[in-house]
Amino acid sequence: MINEAEFIEQLTSKRYRDRAFSKLLDLYQERLYWHIRKIVVTHDNANDVLQNTFLRVYKSLPNFKQQSSLHTWMYKIAYNESIRFLESQKKRTHSAIDEVSERYLGSLVDDVFFDGDEAQLKLQKILSELPEKQRQVFHMKYYDNLKFREISDVLEIKEGTIKTHYYGAVKYIEEHINTVGYIERIKA
Amino acid sequence: MKQHIDDTNETTFRSTFDMNAEKRHQKDLGLKIPENYFSQSKAGILAMTTGQSQEVIPLYKRKITWISMAATVALLLTLAIYNPFTKNTVVEEDVLIASLFTEEESVDDFVDDFVNDELLTEEVFTE
């Protein structure tokens, strides 16, 4: 067993770096993929952003100051890469990030890696109607199991505001969806 | 926050880690992934990081090598000689601009060689 500081030391040492980075991928690849996928929606886009995220992580590790946990730091990079991707789409199409996100949602049904039924599509639509920050907070809290404190670090927003975003999202979803079991789970 | 990782493949790196993330995303949101995606993705990322770097260097950051300089000059000269739609004055300006990025001596050498090898030879054959 090694602690995080020792693991980071391995990640930044020439001798152990490659092996430690492989371990880092085992630990975080899947979690970061789902985090990214919920922002950029389609699998192909998520795949691109995931690669960019780990490239940036690899390059930035020597400069990691350990002011936050490795976990939070990587989520922050993944989030920033996802937003950067959406902004590049925004520049290309001259539309707002929310509009880009909604447009992707529109194309979700054409994605071969989406096989949602009517209820799942309805939930996706409701989530897409949330303001961007509310949606991201809801995803990070409910699906990624991040703590409010960690979401606050990733988004650089006060913890109280994060809670307001989350409960605002839950309320909106509650008012607009009647999928059996979902409301009970998000309120749990 | 201190987190502990196991040095083996078994890990309890973070207590909130959701082992059923894939099922949950598929069940609630209808999102799925290609078969063996994560193992293939890991191999790809490792190849780009710990393996051979496949980073794309933007054009403006690339160093100008003698090959690219020579290729630029050759292209400009070819256009100047063979392109009937381009006015010579414009090409001369381009050559002038290109020459600003190269060593004057190497441009002179290249032009001399080109004139000797291509143009003079061509003239000899056509006589």
Mean pLDDT by 10 residues, chain A (188 residues): 81 87 91 91 92 94 85 93 88 64 64 73 83 91 90 93 94 79 62
Provide the terminal-to-terminal Cα distance of chain A, rounded to the nearest Å: 33
Contact assignment for A30 to B38 by CB distance below 8 Å: yes
The shortest CB-CB distance from A30 to any of B4, B5, B21 is to: B21
CB pairs A-B closer than 8 Å: 119
Tokens 């493949």 locate to B9
Residue A179 and residue A173: Cα distance in Å, rounded? 10
| Cβ count within 10 A of residue B124 | 8
Contact assignment for A25 to B13 by CB distance below 8 Å: no
- Nearest CA to A160 out of A137, A130, A127, A136 is that of A137
Residue B100 and residue B95: Cα distance in Å, rounded? 9
- Could you tell me the CA-to-CA distances from A36 to A15, A83, A167, B106 in Å, in that order? 31, 9, 22, 51
Give percent of chain B with pLDDT exceeding 90.
Answer: 7
Q: What is the pLDDT of residues B25-64, one digit of tens each?
A: 877 788 888 989 999 999 999 998 887 444 445 455 555 5
Contact assignment for A29 to B32 by CB distance below 8 Å: no
Contact assignment for A34 to B25 by CB distance below 8 Å: yes
